[in-house]
Amino acid sequence: MLFSSTQERIGEQTQYVAIINYEVSESFVQLIDNSGSLKVVNINMPPDESIRNGTVAVVLEIPKDFDQRIKNEQLVNITIYYDASSRTSTIAYSKIMQVLGMYRSDVVDNRLESREIDPKILQPLRVFAENVATEDEVSGYMLSLILPPLLAIIVATGGMNAAIDLTVGEKERHTLEALLVTATSRRDLITGKFLAVVTTTLLSIAFIMLSLSGSVGYLSRLQIQQMEIYLTLQTSIIVFLILTLMAIMIAALGMAIASFAKSFKEANNYLTPMLFIIVILSFGSYGISIDDVGIIPFLIPILNVTLVIQEVLVNNFNAIHMLVTISSTLLVSMIMIIIASWIFHKESVLFRA
């Protein structure tokens, strides 16, 4: 699956780690630094802030008498700060856990050997792990991945079909001319059609979201491993509003393309590749970890919508991402509306021979 490759890629990437009291144990810093894909850096802010603003993925806190305690065979407390809603942080967390696990068994082995005891006596069992996460948990996790592109694609296909029907459809049924000679102006005609396309699309989204929250309503705050999905009334409304914007853009795009076409067949010839691109853009979010993306993906229509929805669903709301997404969507919509209405006023395009 696409997602696991993202996970692998984050796994290969280097994550930054800060260690509180790092100066007391050079060997511990070396241990983390030499583990391969973790790098120890300094921070000048509290651990939680440093993680949230992305300076580091995790922060470790070791006691001031770390080396002493190890030597004296005393218990050592280590605190790990991490962000469960961030993929990068979660992955760094599990890497740290691995390194610490190995470190622990090394320490134990050393201690046993110094007493001339075979370390194997401490391993009477070998354990095989089987995932027993319930289906709800997994589906909650899957939902945060699948829902955004799915919703985007539903909006796209619904909007395109309505746009075709209301524009090329009028040409094919030969009803367009009759419409054009009524007292209603062309501007009003295209506005009416545009609103009709947007409304039908929104109805289909509303239906999907209602049935979704009906069936997964009880899972409203699903938790799986460290990932949560927030499908509350509030997030549903935000998602709906973002999709409304996208519906406006798709309606305008569909109408611009479909008004140009002479027949259903021709319109489909244009819109099929268009839909293909939309699907690719929608699933483009799978190749991107929302924790460490720059602003550029949020300038790309559709992709930005799925990313923002994903952010909302994992409660990782980012006002700038939202603003950029809204602006870019509105800009594309406006351009498409201008093109569509230009076509409706341009007889040589509307009545292409």
Partner 1 sequence: MIIIQNLTKLFGKFKAVDSINIEINKGEIFGLLGLNGAGKTTTQRMVSTVFLPSKGDIIVNGNDVRTEPAKVRKSIGFLPTEVGLYDRLTANEVVKYFGILNDLDEQEIDERIKKLFEKLALTEYANKRCSKLSRGNKQKVAIARAIIHEPPVFIFDEPTSGLDVLSSRAVLDFTKQCKAEGKTILYSSHLMNEAEEICDRIGIIHNGKILKTGNVKELVKEYGKLENVFISSVRGEKS
Ligand X SMILES: Nc1ncnc2c1ncn2[C@@H]1O[C@H](COP(=O)(O)OP(=O)(O)OP(=O)(O)O)[C@@H](O)[C@H]1O
Q: Which residues bind ligand X (CB under 6 A)?
A: 351, 353
> How many CB atoms neighbour CB 344 within 10 A?
22
Q: For partner 1, which is the closer residue by CB, 1 or 183?
A: 183
Q: For ligand X, which is the closer residue by CB, 113 or 177?
A: 177
Contact between 32 and 38 (Cβ < 8 Å): yes
320 binds, among ligand X, partner 1, none (CB under 5 to 8 A by kind): none
Residues 6+ apart with CB under 8 A from 258: 160, 163, 164, 166, 167, 168, 267, 270, 271
Number of separate helices (H) and strands (E) present in the chain? 14, 6
Q: For partner 1, which is the closer residue by CB, 261 or 307?
A: 261
106 binds, among partner 1, ligand X, none (CB under 5 to 8 A by kind): none
Q: How far is the CB of 204 from ligand X (least distance, A)?
A: 35
Contact between 24 and 62 (Cβ < 8 Å): yes
| Residue 342 engages partner 1 in binding (rule: CB under 8 A) | no
Q: How far is the CB of 221 from partner 1 (least distance, A)?
A: 45
185 binds, among partner 1, ligand X, none (CB under 5 to 8 A by kind): partner 1
* Both tokens assigned to 222: 């699903």
* Both tokens assigned to 190: 């295209």
Q: For partner 1, which is the closer residue by CB, 173 or 221?
A: 173
Q: For ligand X, which is the closer residue by CB, 49 or 177?
A: 177
Binding pattern to partner 1, positions 164-203, x when CB under 8 A?
---------xxxxxxxxxxxxx------------------
Q: How far is the CB of 186 from partner 1 (least distance, A)?
A: 10
Q: Beta strand 58-61 with 79-81: parallel, antiparallel or unpaired?
A: antiparallel
44 binds, among ligand X, partner 1, none (CB under 5 to 8 A by kind): none
Q: How far is the CB of 350 from ligand X (least distance, A)?
A: 9
| DSSP secondary structure of 246-283 | HHHHHHHHHHHHHHH-SSHHHHHHHHHHHHHHHHHHHH
Q: For partner 1, which is the closer residue by CB, 98 or 175?
A: 175
Radius of gyration of the chain (CA): 28
Q: How far is the CB of 13 from ligand X (least distance, A)?
A: 58
Q: For partner 1, which is the closer residue by CB, 121 or 353?
A: 353
Q: How far is the CB of 352 from partner 1 (least distance, A)?
A: 10
Q: Is the dihedral of CA 323, 326, 329, 332 positive or negative?
A: negative
177 binds, among partner 1, ligand X, none (CB under 5 to 8 A by kind): partner 1
179 binds, among partner 1, ligand X, none (CB under 5 to 8 A by kind): partner 1
Q: For partner 1, which is the closer residue by CB, 171 or 321?
A: 171
Q: What angle do CA 4, 5, 7 make, to 5 degrees?
A: 60
Alpha carbons 281 and 307: distance in angstroms, whole number: 10
Q: How far is the CB of 345 from partner 1 (least distance, A)?
A: 10
Q: How far is the CB of 12 from ligand X (least distance, A)?
A: 59
Nearest to 31 by CA among 98, 103, 134: 103
Beta bridge partners of 61: 20, 79
Q: How far is the CB of 346 from ligand X (least distance, A)?
A: 11
Q: In the bound complex, which residue of the shown chain has the CB atom lying closest to ligand X? A: 353
Residue in the structure block whose two tokens are 């799986």: 224
> How many CB atoms neighbour CB 36 within 10 A?
10
Question: Residues interacting with partner 1, by CB under 8 A?
Answer: 173-185, 347-348, 351, 353
